[in-house]
Each structure stands twice: as C-alpha cells, then as structure tokens.
C-alpha cells in the first residue's frame, strides 16, 4: 500500500485578448507564446505517457489541469488559431536562417533543437489537432490520466464583487462554458487567484461543483481546525470539498531562487534573440511598430549570478540531464514526506502541489521534461507515492472532516492586497455600479428577446470581461499597466452604453447605433452561449 498521494495541479489561464481590428497586436503574443511554449509541450508529454490513448500500455499517472474559460474560448477561436499558426510559421522561417547562421558556433545544437520543436509544434497544431487544442485536452481527459477543472468565467476576483449574483454568474458561466467545450459538467473549479471568502461554497454547490483549491492558510485556519492540516481535504457544510496547498512541494518547484528552475544549467529566460540579433536581421519578425521584443529564441543558460552579457551558451543535453535529476530529487523528497506524514497522521496524506501551467515550458523551458521524467520515475522506481487527480482522491476517500475554510488567496501576503491597493482601487466603484446595473437589467427584462436580448447578453459579456482579475494584477505589477487600464475602461464604457440604450427603449435597429452593437459583438465575442438571465438564477 502507498504511503501517500501526490496531486499535481496546473492552472492554465490567460486573459481574453483578441483584437480583430488590428492585423497584429502585441498582447496577443501572450496567447501564442503559451500555446507554443507551454500547452503543446504539455500535450506532447501527456500524450506520450498515455501511449496514443492506450492506458494499458502507457504510464499510470494522474494530473489535474484547470483550463480557464477565456483560455478555452481563445483556443477555439478561428481568428486566433490562424494568427497562432502564422506565428509558428514565422518561427520556422526564422530558425531555418538561424541554423545556417549558428553553424560552427556553440549555439548550433540549440538552434537545431528549436527548429525541430517548431516543426513538431506546427505538425501537432495544424495537422493533428486542426488548430484547436481543445480537441487535444478533451482527448486527454477522455483517455484518462488527466482531469480538467473549470474556473470562474473571466477569472474574476470573487471576494471583491459587490453581490452574490455577480459571483454566481461568474461561476455558472464558467461551468456552462466548460460543458460546451468538454461535453460534460465540471467536477472541480480553480477559484481565481485561489481567492476564497466564506459563503462561496454555497454558490459552488448550487452550480454542481464538488471541490476547489485553497492556499495553505485557508485550510489551516479553517473552523474547526482540520485534524490533518492540508494533507487531507475538508468538506464544507454544504458538501463541497476544499484542498489545501502543500507549501514545501510547491516552493521546491516554484521558487526561481531556491527551487529547480534557478539551476544554472537551465535556459536563461531573460536573454533573447529579439534583443541580441542585429536589428535589420530580426526586423521581419517584429511587430509593425519595429520595437525589439522577445521572440522566444534563447541561446544562453542561467550560468549564475552574472550579468546578461556574461551568460554562457545553453547546453540542451546537460539541461535535460538536470531535469531528470531534479525529477528524481522531487520524487525522493515526496516519498520521505509521505512516509513521515503517514506515521504522524495515521493515514496516507495527499500532497497537493499546484502551479501556474505557464511555469512549465514558458518560464521554465525544461519544465515539461521534468514532468515527463517525474511521472515515469514514480511509475517505475518506487512504491511509496501514487499520483492522483483530485476527483480520484475524493472517490477513494469519501469520508472527510466537516469544516469551513477561512478567507485567503495565494497572492502576496495571502489576502486581497494584490488586487486592491492604491494602483487599482479606482476600478471597483465602476465595477460595483455595473454589477448593480446588470442585476437591475436582468430583473427588469426577463422576457427579453430579439435585439434587446442580444444587447443584454452583450452587456453581460462586457461586465464579465471588465471583472477579470488580470487587469488589477497587471496594474499592481506595473507591467503593461496602460493596456490593463484601457481594457477596464473600455469594457465598462461599452457596458454603460448598452445599459443606457436598453433603459431608454432604444433596442431597435432604427433607433440605436446598430452597427456599433455588431462591432462590439464581433470584438468581444466570448461566451456565445451566454444567457443574461444567469444573473437572476439564484433569485
């Protein structure tokens, strides 16, 4: 019998960034980079473990992945799919030149590696999954080994919303969108930023959610205090389970200073060909503004505490050896942790290790290889721990302690400060007023149809998009703040315009700016399945 369980969880989320009004848009690169550097490498790893969908021949593993609704909508969007493929083809073209340029240099093997990976990415993205990675993730879940969770509709920061109706709408729209893409209702949810406040579990239960995840202190400070700490989930009085993050295993991978990603043999993220190359050489691969930027082609290793100019050439073979070594070390530590905890607790612990998915591949280039090695080593080299999805754990361990978690997030200092501070507090007076107005509209026009219903649905989309926690987070970090501020103002402005049009009775093609509605619907086209009445579902 195993000493314990290891529950790895990846949270895959990006804000909804789609700008059809521009041929190229800088912030859309967030999506293309994530597809190429994280999602496809992870799909390749998990597919390889499943041996082409034949689990009896593959590796017995379990991992839980949260795919946020905005990410799912972008993955399924034909415009972004075509633009992502264009991004891949441009990288293939660049690497053909790079293989020639780097011949007889220390960078040649790395250039060959990039060339081969981009070609594999093109094949998987275009030929195998027909540009829609939802197909890949759905297949992985159906084949076994991978369980996919949902998230709130636009990753809205639920505790800072002014009404339960707004919170419930975020949750229900997220669940509906998951069912649209995956053909089944979700069992679990990744609460945006792991942000919980007492009472949320009631809304989750009404939406059919069976479990969610919290940061460590949210479970440790639960009432009554959990007997097993974070090493067993608790169940709230309404029946929804809550898992707590294990700080030790998380830090060992997450921390760039103390964890594996900071090893000097791994690829250096911050030195990029987009800045190193001659400007005229690299100009065809920049955006029309011609400003230098990261291209995802990086030839140097971390090296150590040295300046960027002193970074040494990256050795992909040595880095791969390190990934295998670190996977073995992580497994070894979890074995000892599980054995020790079982002795103290008198039952097998579940060690929950959640991470942002983009850590694996984008920030930590070798991360997907680390996971591949880890699952294979756990399957063949030991018998102390077993990887499980969160639903598998609950099915095998249905008896849980009843307790109510405490308010918490996984942000800096553990509570709401990242999303409510002097840099972003101005947004909430506008969001709260829009939340009140959306509820007013939903109650006033329950029988709306035709053009009025379209306007009400679009108003709901604009409010949901304005509520994305990403905008407040970006304002706090100070990176791309003008874009985050503009997105917040634009969505609130469009919501208020629609509100005024509906309230004034102007919901006919002859008495309103009908082309403007069509333009807004075309631009902010998320959640085509939405029904604005979701705001009164709990009435």
Q: Which of 475, 468, 483 is nearest to 27 (CA)?
A: 483
Q: For the chain, first and last CA: distance in Å?
A: 49
**DSSP element (H, E) containing 5:** strand 4-12
Q: How far apart, in whole angstroms, are the C-alpha atoms of residue 142 and residue 125?
A: 19
Question: Is residue 83 left, alpha or beta, with left meaning phi > 0 and alpha meaning psi from -120 to 50?
Answer: alpha
CA distance 158 to 153: 11
Helix, strand, coil distribution of the chain in percent, nearest 5? 55, 10, 35
DSSP secondary structure of 274-299: HHHS-HHHHGGGS-TT------S---
Q: 152, 161, 177, 148: which is closest to 63 by C-alpha?
A: 148
The residue from 28, 73, 77, 193 that is catalytic is 193
Q: Six-digit token pair at 402? A: 């009843």
The residues facing 6 across adjacent strands are: 351, 387
**Residue appearing with tokens 């912030």:** 27
Place of tokens 């400060």: 417
| Residue 37 annotated among the catalytic residues of the structure | no
Spatial CA neighbour of 418 closest among 490, 478, 364: 478
The number of C-alpha atoms within 13 Å of 83 and in the hemisphere containing its C-beta is: 24
Which tokens hold the place of 12? 């895959």
The full 3-state SS of 359-398, as one line of letters, equals HECCCECCHHHHHHHHHHHHHHCCCCEEECCHHHHHHHCC
Please check whether residue 221 is in contact with residue 190, taking contact to mean a CB–CB distance below 8 angstroms.
no
Write down the residue that tokens 């080994």 correspond to: 145
**CA-closest candidate to residue 357, choices 148, 121, 120:** 148
Task: Say how far apart CA 226 and CA 404 lie, in whole Å.
Answer: 9
Residue 161 and residue 429 in contact, taking contact as beta carbons nearer than 8 Å? no
Our CA angle for 147, 149, 206, nearest 5°, is 130
Candidate list 315, 356, 519, 521, residue with the active-site label: 356
401 CB neighbour count, 10 Å cutoff: 14
Are 476 and 423 in contact by the 8 Å Cβ rule? The answer is yes
Of 439, 412, 428, 521, nearest to 471 by C-alpha is: 428
Is 356 tagged catalytic?
Answer: yes
Helices assigned H by DSSP within 413-480:
427-444, 450-466, 469-477
Active-site residues, by number, are 193, 356
């Amino acid at each position: 019998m195993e000493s314990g369980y290891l529950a790895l969880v990846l949270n895959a989320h990006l804000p909804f960034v789609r700008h059809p009004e521009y041929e190229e848009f800088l912030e859309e690169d967030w999506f293309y980079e994530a597809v190429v550097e994280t999602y496809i490498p992870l799909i390749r790893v998990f597919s390889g473990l499943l041996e082409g969908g034949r689990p009896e021949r593959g590796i017995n593993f379990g991992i839980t992945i949260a795919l946020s609704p905005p990410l799912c909508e972008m993955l399924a969007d034909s415009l972004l799919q075509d633009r992502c493929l264009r991004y891949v083809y441009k990288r293939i073209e660049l690497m053909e030149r790079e293989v020639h340029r780097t011949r007889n240099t220390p960078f040649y093997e790395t250039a060959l590696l990039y060339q081969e990976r981009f070609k594999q990415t093109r094949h998987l993205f275009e030929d195998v999954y027909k540009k829609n990675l939802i197909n890949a993730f759905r297949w992985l879940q159906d084949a076994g080994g991978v369980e996919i969770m949902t998230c709130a509709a636009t990753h809205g920061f639920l505790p800072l919303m002014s009404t339960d109706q707004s919170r419930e709408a975020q949750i229900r729209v997220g669940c509906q969108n998951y069912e649209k893409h995956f053909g089944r209702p979700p069992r679990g949810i990744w609460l945006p930023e792991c942000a919980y406040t007492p009472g949320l579990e009631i809304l989750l239960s009404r939406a059919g959610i069976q479990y969610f995840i919290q940061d460590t202190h949210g479970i440790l400070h639960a009432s009554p205090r959990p007997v097993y700490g974070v090493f067993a989930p608790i169940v709230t009085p309404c029946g929804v389970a809550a898992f707590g993050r294990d700080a030790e295993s998380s830090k060992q991978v997450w921390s760039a200073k103390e964890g594996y990603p900071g090893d000097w043999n791994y690829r250096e993220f911050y030195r990029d060909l987009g800045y190193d190359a001659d400007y005229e050489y690299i100009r065809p691969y920049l955006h029309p503004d011609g400003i230098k930027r990261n291209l995802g082609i990086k030839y140097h290793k971390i090296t150590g505490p040295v300046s960027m100019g002193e970074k040494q050439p990256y050795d992909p073979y040595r880095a791969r050896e390190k990934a295998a070594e670190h996977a073995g070390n992580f497994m070894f530590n979890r074995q000892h942790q599980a054995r020790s905890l079982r002795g103290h607790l008198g039952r097998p612990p579940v060690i929950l290790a959640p991470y942002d998915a983009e850590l694996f591949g984008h920030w930590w280039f070798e991360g997907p290889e680390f996971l591949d090695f880890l699952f294979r080593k756990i399957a063949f080299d030991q018998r102390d721990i077993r990887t499980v999805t969160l639903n598998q754990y609950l099915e095998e361990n249905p008896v849980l302690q009843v307790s109510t978690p405490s308010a918490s997030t996984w942000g800096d200092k553990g509570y709401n400060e990242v999303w409510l501070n002097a840099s972003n507090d101005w947004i909430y007076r506008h969001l709260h007023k829009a939340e009140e107005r959306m509820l007013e509209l939903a109650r006033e026009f329950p029988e709306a149809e035709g053009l009025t219903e379209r306007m009400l649905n679009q108003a709901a989309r604009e409010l949901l998009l304005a509520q994305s926690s990403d905008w407040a987070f970006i304002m706090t970090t100070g990176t791309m703040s003008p874009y985050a501020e503009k997105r917040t103002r634009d969505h609130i402005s469009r919501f208020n315009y629609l509100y005024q049009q509906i309230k004034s009775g102007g919901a006919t093609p002859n008495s309103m700016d009908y082309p403007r509605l069509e333009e807004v619907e075309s631009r902010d086209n998320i959640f085509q399945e939405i029904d604005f009445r979701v705001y009164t579902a709990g009435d």
